[in-house]
Each structure stands twice: as C-alpha cells, then as structure tokens.
Structure 1
Amino acid sequence: MQITVKDVVISVKEGDITAWQGEMIVNASNSGLYGGGGVDGAIHRAGGPRIAEECAVIRRKQGGILPGEAALTTAGQLSFRGIIHTVGPIWKGGTAGEAAVLSRCYKSSLDLACAHGVQSLAFPNISTGIYSFPKDLACKTALESVIQYIRGKNPAELPLRQIDFICFESDNARLYEAMLGTYS
C-alpha cells in the first residue's frame, strides 16, 4: 500500500528494517542510546560496534537524547548513509502527553533527514514494543505526523521522495496499510 503526498511516496512494508533498500533509517532508541532490544538491538547488531561508539560520543557530549528528540550517527556496517536515533515515549495511559512526544519523534527525525538531503527514509514502529504504546494510536500518530510534515514544507525544503514504514510484525503492517488507505 502506498500514497503520494506532494511528490513524496509513503508506503508500508513488512520486514526487517536493517535489510531495507534506501538511504537512511530511523532507530527506535532509548535515551542513553544504548543498543537495547527490538529494532534498536537489531540495528546495533547488524551495524556493528561503530554505531555504539558514535552513540557513546553523543552521550559524552550531551548526555543522550530526550524523548521526542533525534540524533544522527553513521550506519556502521549497514549500507545506509546514516541512522537517525529517536526516543519514543513510554506509554503511561495517555495522560502524560505521549502522543505529542511520539509526534515530535517523527518531526525531529524528518528534520534531520531533510537537513542532510535524504531522499529515502524508513521508520520502524516507534514505542510499540517494550514502551507499550498502543499500536493503533502509534500508527495514527505516525502517519498524521509524517503527512502533516510533508504538507507543511515548501518543496525546496523537502528533498525526501520516499518514506517507508517498515513493520516487523504482520499485524502492524496490516494496521498501517489499512490506516494509510484512509489518506489516499
């Protein structure tokens, strides 16, 4: 499933984000930028120790990153131009501004990608694993945040031409496909 918004193709794919073919990927990281479980651990394992070394430099300089923020490292042994690490919110029942923080994850990541002239970018399902963000609300927040971002940009400020949501689990892929279809 895919849609086009202002010449940017947005699509959903099921699979492993480390095997995706494109310029840059987003990592659902933790505030300390330590390789954890889920997609974060998979990216750190596939990319090798250089990613962890660069994350350590960020920690030394600024103490990590806060939820909603993003930082850029190289991709280590992966074939991407870089990895954007963003920290999603831990679900606390929806009363602690979690959706706004998740939305900032997408905006911060897109800002970094655009600042580096990235034309193709892939997102994982941020905060839906161990951080327990409800998958349907995370999907809605992700799609709305990305689409609003694209619509709000002047074409000269938007190098992106492809944004893929890479869903490791089939239930997330089906959810994203169904919701993306409502925007076409």
Structure 2
Amino acid sequence: MSEKLKGNILVTGANRGIGLALIKQLGETPGEEGHIYACCRDPQGPGAQALRELSTQCPGKITVVKLDVSDVDSISSAVQTVSRIIGAGGLNLLINNAAINRPETPAPLSACGKKDMMEAYETNVVGPFLLVKMLLPLLQKAAEMDSTVKGDKMSCSRSAVVNISTLISSIEKCPETFPIAQMYPYRTSK
C-alpha cells in the first residue's frame, strides 16, 4: 500500500485469509496517524494466533477485538469497545470481510437445508448490516472531521464501508466456478 495510513479502520474476519492479509498490509503501512481494529470471533483461540503475533509486531497500531457478526450482543459489545477507544475520533473505514459457508464443505443442493441458508445469511448479510448501522455515528463523525471537503457526507476519502466478496459469489464467473464449488448459501448471501 502506497498511501499513508490515516484514521481508524475496522476489519471483520481478521484472523485468516483476506482479513489477515489486509491487517498485515495495513500494519506495515507507514504512518502513526492510523489505528486498526482487527475483529474476529475468538481472539484468544488457536485460529487467531497469527493475528495476535501481528498485533505484537505492530505495537500501538493494531487492537484485536472480539466480534461474532452473527451475534447481536457481540456486535454491540465490539461497537462499545471501539467507541470507547476511539473517543472523540471517528471511524474512517469499515471493511466487512467476515463470512461463513454452510454446509462447511461444498455440497449439492440436496445437502443444503434451511438452517444452512439462515446461518449464512445471518453472518454474511444481517451481521454486516447491523455492524454498519451501529457504527454509523462513528463513520459520520469521521466524515464531519475532514475539513478539506465541505459538508458531512460520507465518501471514500473521508469515511466509507467496504463489503468484501469473492469470485465464488460472482454471477459472471458462476459457469466457471460452480462445478468446483457448489456453495449455495455462501454464493447467494455474498
């Protein structure tokens, strides 16, 4: 990343894959003006070891926050934690990256049930929606604080929300990817 890290950034699903790679890149970006909130379901668990190591390598730049986007209480608690730390500052960037697939391995339609679809939608659609809704005051605050642009509207240069998707969920790429990854709940929710 060639840009200097500025402001507060929150990334969900930060303990592996795309989320962990984002945290690593953001953590390596020069600049003292930014802070990263790296969120995952189990910050103390074995699946978050790499994230914990990364946060120690970038002291004062990364805060690991417990967040399960499928749990309203967890979302509320994470928002309160981040709000308390940010204080009078705002949130400049929210990256909704966390997602699940149900059933956990690709499966034919006959193997997918209502529970699989509901769990995927709860995590991949409803969770990010609630997180944006609860963080909106912090996002708006960041937009208002940027005096280089008139008004208090959110924009990618002031505060923004990025929702991560994948090629697996691309409608255009479906003919290529579907035979190798029959992931009905994931594809429809992303």
TM-score, normalization by structure 2: 0.41
Which structure's residues are more often strand, by fraction? 1
